[in-house]
Amino acid sequence: MNVSIIGAGYVGLVSAWGLTALGHRVSVGEADVGRVDRLKAGETPIFEEGLTELLSGASEKDLISYHSSNAEAVQGAKLVFLCLPTPEGADGRADLSYVESVVDELANAVEPDSVFVVKSTVPPGTAASLRKRLADVGSSARVVSHPEFLREGNAVFDFMNPDRIVIGAYEAEDADLVAGLYDGLETEFILTDVTSAEMIKYASNAYLATRLTMANTLANVCEAVGADVLDVLAGVRLDHRIGPHFLQPGPGYGGSCFPKDTAALITVAEDAGYDFELLRAVIEADDRQRHRIAEKVRQAAGGGLRGRRVAMWGVAFKAGTDDVRESPALRIARLLKEDGAEVVAYDPKASSDELTMSPSALDAVTGADALLVATEWPEFCRVDMVEVAARMKGHRVVDSRNLLDPAQVRAAGLDYWGLGRPGA
């Protein structure tokens, strides 16, 4: 099938490659001319394991093309995937301006009877309003909701091995057309109405955010009562009704999805007259988690941060990505800096202008009053802790991911403060 993808961001590029791998021909439309040039030259503007090679392979086979004109990109395509950003607006609502302006631009430029496939995360009711927008300008194009569930760092795998494929459509024929793209993939298909499909995405992210906030708050309770949260969760996750995933305590959630989607769902519910009290509590608890960790670092550095140097291992919002959007590490670093600390950071992939970046994990700890492990990169477990102890000025390690081996850290003569662990 000929598919057009509008938006060469994270979701757009992974979907573009994935669809070519399933045998389709894809033309990508992207407004940023520089980005289009880089893609044509075989460079990928995002870091995702294996993606650059996969996209180059698709280009070589002439299965993918890049265009700075959206109108050009949609020529000959029956399906037009909208992979545009829906950032958090000032009041927590999702900002739909990118999606709406592309639909306005392409309403009558697409092939007759083509289908706009909304991949962007949009509030329930958006597909219905886009449908009206198209009808108002006499467009014959239709709308399908088809949310994505790609995890950064695992997106290539997730595309080919989806837990489910969700398609919300007005016409069965449109749903079949989209479902047909995935012939050969073994997965569950959820075919539903557009609003329910939109809601599945928000419900999934809100549920996952709640679940990991539960793990974080359990860690805090364990810390208070003297239990070891890792043993507690090992016992909890074996209950088959609970299961093993998404229960790793940490500094709270970050990234491009959870913070904005949880905020947006609260406003969606509010606009419909429902107070989503539980989700509001999750967001507040998540925010407090970073303050709690900043407080631990303050204690670790001797009780005050003015003039202190804090080494931070990890800047990315999670391991396996260079993405720092809403990164808990950065948000904690800001709290530490507000209190007068100098934060010196190292990350294998990510970087930030807000911080003094070090070329290595060992370099970062030199002269540090305290060390904070903020992202769960496995390479931090391989750093020689004896050397860390020798280079640090202070002697306390705050491990906000429970990543390091406490025995090894202690054997090097350092204090180990994990999350919800004995001695934390």
250 belongs to the binding site for ligand UDX (CB under 6 A): yes
Query: Applying CB under 6 A, which part among 69-77, 255-263, 333-341, 359-367 lies near ligand UDX?
Result: 255-263
Is 138 buried (19+), middle (13-18) or exposed (0-12) by CB count in 10 A?
Answer: exposed
The 3-state DSSP class for residue 28 equals: strand
Query: Applying CB under 6 A, which part among 89-97, 108-116, 124-132, 142-150 lies near ligand UDX?
Result: 142-150
Q: Give the angle 216-220-224 at the CA atoms, nearest 5°.
A: 165
Q: Which of 40, 132, 151, 164 binds ligand UDX (CB under 6 A)?
A: 151
* 166 vs 389 by CB, closer to ligand UDX: 166
Query: Applying CB under 6 A, which part among 93-101, 138-146, 159-167, 251-259 lies near ligand UDX?
Result: 251-259
* Residue keyed to tokens 């805090």: 220
Q: Which of 88, 148, 286, 347 binds ligand UDX (CB under 6 A)?
A: 148
User: What sign has the CA pseudo-torsion 260, 262, 264, 266?
Assistant: negative
212 belongs to the binding site for ligand UDX (CB under 6 A): yes
253 belongs to the binding site for ligand UDX (CB under 6 A): yes
* Residue 222 is among the residues annotated as catalytic for this protein: no
* 314 vs 394 by CB, closer to ligand UDX: 314
* 207 vs 274 by CB, closer to ligand UDX: 207
197 belongs to the binding site for ligand UDX (CB under 6 A): no
332 belongs to the binding site for ligand UDX (CB under 6 A): no
Edge-to-edge strand list for the sheet holding 356-357: 356-357, 342-346, 309-313, 370-373, 396-399, 415-417
164 belongs to the binding site for ligand UDX (CB under 6 A): no
CB-closest chain residue to ligand UDX:
257
257 belongs to the binding site for ligand UDX (CB under 6 A): yes
* Residue keyed to tokens 């545009």: 84
159 belongs to the binding site for ligand UDX (CB under 6 A): no
CB of 18 to ligand UDX, least distance (A): 14
Amino acid at 51: L
Give long-range contacts, CB 8 A cutoff, 24+ apart: 288-292. Answer: 289/213, 289/216, 289/220, 289/251, 289/252, 289/328, 290/251, 290/252, 290/328, 290/331, 290/332, 290/335, 291/335, 292/220
Q: Are 361 and 346 in contact (CB under 8 A)?
A: yes
Q: Which of 248, 267, 352, 366 binds ligand UDX (CB under 6 A)?
A: 248
408: Cβ contacts below 8 Å, ≥ 6 apart: 385
Residues that bind ligand UDX (CB under 6 A): 148-152, 205, 208, 212, 246-248, 250, 253-255, 257-258, 317-318
